[in-house]
């Protein structure tokens, strides 16, 4: 095997890219929080780059899955022609759900000890109603747009929002469901990704990348939650990133938006874009559960604070989205602030 035929370097670099992007953003967030508490102003080059970590995570996933899918497809095609067994990706059998399970979390799986003890139960007990409310909001908006015939772009964005909402619902259910799995499956690993006969990828790297890119059903809480970035439609993420970048690109550390003191120069957003940010904010509540992962830390809480501040600048537009109940992401953010007041 020639060195140039091996994809190990690309795959390992993709994995490191995700760690770098998240860890770099986490450090920037920590510096911004520390500077804000001490009344100092940071140079722009060390401020949080709000959507860069999303781009890196998405790019690494696309590169990895393209390589692995391409290799498996090519091997399947060639071995089919020779009537020999093709390489397969074996996924773990999903056990039948049984009620009353206590969620078991391993080190670096997600929540810090205090979050696991205090905040996680609150999220588990409230997320179902919150997502039901969000779905009602999305569907009512879609119904309103269906009566309009002069906004094809709006329809495309709403389709992306609907698809993303379904992905978020699945992600939340897998991460927070209290359904019990059979004990014999609790510590079970996925069956191996059979790459022994594929010379371009080392088997151990292939198995690892299949796991971290969610090509098989992830079990670690952090992988379940972060898989949202890999599965959400590109149109949805591009919309969210463009709003994050345009809103906060020129804001200094001392002027970073906070939920209690929103900026004043943010243009009003259309209802579809507000809906996209609403969905993204609900996902960030899940990311707040990952504060025990060293390369994620306070990213969820920080980013959600920025989104809440943006939504508050929208005034009546934001309030009209739901006038009968509190906005779940904002409520959860306030609770998390009470539990971790230094953020």
Inform me whether the pLDDT recorded for 132 exceeds 90.
yes
pLDDT at 191: 45
Tokens linked to 324: 């009968």
- 199 and 71 in contact (C-beta within 8 Å)? no
213 vs 101, more confident: 213
20 vs 151, more confident: 20
What are the backbone angles phi and psi of residue 190, rounded to the nearest 5°?
-65, 150
pLDDT at 320: 46
pLDDT at 153: 64
Most confident of 12-16, 238-242, 268-272: 238-242
DSSP assignment string, 235-272:
HHHHHHHHHHHHHHTT--GGG--BTTB--S-PPPPPHH
Once rounded to an integer, what is the mean pLDDT over residues 85-98? 38
Question: Longest C-alpha distance within the chain, in Å?
Answer: 70
CA 69 to chain centroid, in Å, comes to: 22
Inform me whether the pLDDT recorded for 202 exceeds 60.
yes
Report the number of distinct structural domains present in the chain. Answer: 1
At a CB cut-off of 8 Å and minimum separation 6, what does 142 contact? Answer: 158, 162
Alpha helix ranges (H) inside 39-151? 52-81, 113-114, 120-146
Left (φ > 0), alpha (ψ -120 to 50) or beta: where does 95 sit? beta
pLDDT at 119: 96
Once rounded to an integer, what is the mean pLDDT over residues 161-168? 96
Which whole-number Å values give the CA distances from 72 to 3, 11, 25, 83, 199, in the listed order? 20, 15, 34, 16, 12
Left (φ > 0), alpha (ψ -120 to 50) or beta: where does 93 sit? beta
Left (φ > 0), alpha (ψ -120 to 50) or beta: where does 148 sit? beta
pLDDT tens per residue, range 58-74 = 888 787 777 777 665 55
DSSP assignment string, 1-65:
--GGG--HHHHHHHHHHHHHHHHHHHHHHHHHHHHHHHT----GGGS--TTHHHHHHHHHHHHHH
Domain that holds residue 50: 3-339
- 216 band by pLDDT with thresholds 50, 70 and 90: low
- 233 band by pLDDT with thresholds 50, 70 and 90: very high
């Amino acid at each position: 095997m020639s060195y140039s035929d091996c994809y190990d370097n690309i795959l390992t670099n993709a994995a490191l890219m995700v760690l770098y992007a998240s860890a770099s953003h986490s450090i920037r967030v920590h510096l911004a929080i520390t500077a804000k508490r001490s009344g100092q102003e940071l140079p722009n080059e060390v401020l949080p780059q709000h959507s860069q970590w999303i781009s890196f995570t998405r790019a690494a996933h696309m590169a990895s899955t393209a390589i692995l899918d391409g290799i498996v497809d090519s091997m399947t095609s060639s071995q089919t022609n020779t009537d020999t067994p093709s390489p397969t990706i074996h996924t773990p059998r999903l056990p039948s759900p049984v009620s009353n399970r206590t969620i078991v979390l391993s080190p670096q799986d997600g929540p810090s000890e205090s979050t696991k003890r205090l905040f996680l139960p609150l999220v588990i007990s409230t997320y179902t109603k919150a997502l039901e409310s969000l779905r009602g909001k999305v569907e009512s908006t879609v119904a309103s747009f269906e009566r309009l015939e002069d906004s094809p772009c709006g329809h495309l964005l709403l389709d992306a929002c609907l698809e993303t909402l379904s992905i978020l619902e699945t992600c939340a259910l897998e991460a927070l469901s209290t359904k019990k799995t059979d004990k014999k499956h609790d510590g079970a690993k996925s069956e191996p990704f059979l790459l022994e006969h594929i010379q371009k990828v080392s088997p151990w790297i292939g198995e690892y990348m299949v796991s971290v890119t969610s090509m098989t059903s992830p079990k670690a809480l952090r992988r379940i939650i972060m898989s949202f970035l890999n599965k959400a439609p590109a149109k949805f993420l591009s919309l969210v990133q463009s709003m994050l970048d345009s809103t906060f690109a020129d804001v200094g550390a001392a002027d970073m938006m906070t939920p209690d003191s929103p900026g004043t120069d943010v243009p009003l957003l259309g209802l579809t874009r507000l809906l996209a940010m609403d969905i993204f904010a609900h996902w960030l509540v899940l990311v707040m559960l990952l504060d025990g992962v060293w390369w994620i830390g306070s990213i969820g809480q920080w980013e959600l604070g920025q989104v809440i501040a943006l939504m508050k600048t929208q005034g009546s537009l934001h309030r009209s989205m739901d006038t009968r109940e509190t906005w779940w992401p904002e409520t959860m953010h306030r609770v998390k602030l009470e539990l971790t007041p230094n953020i």
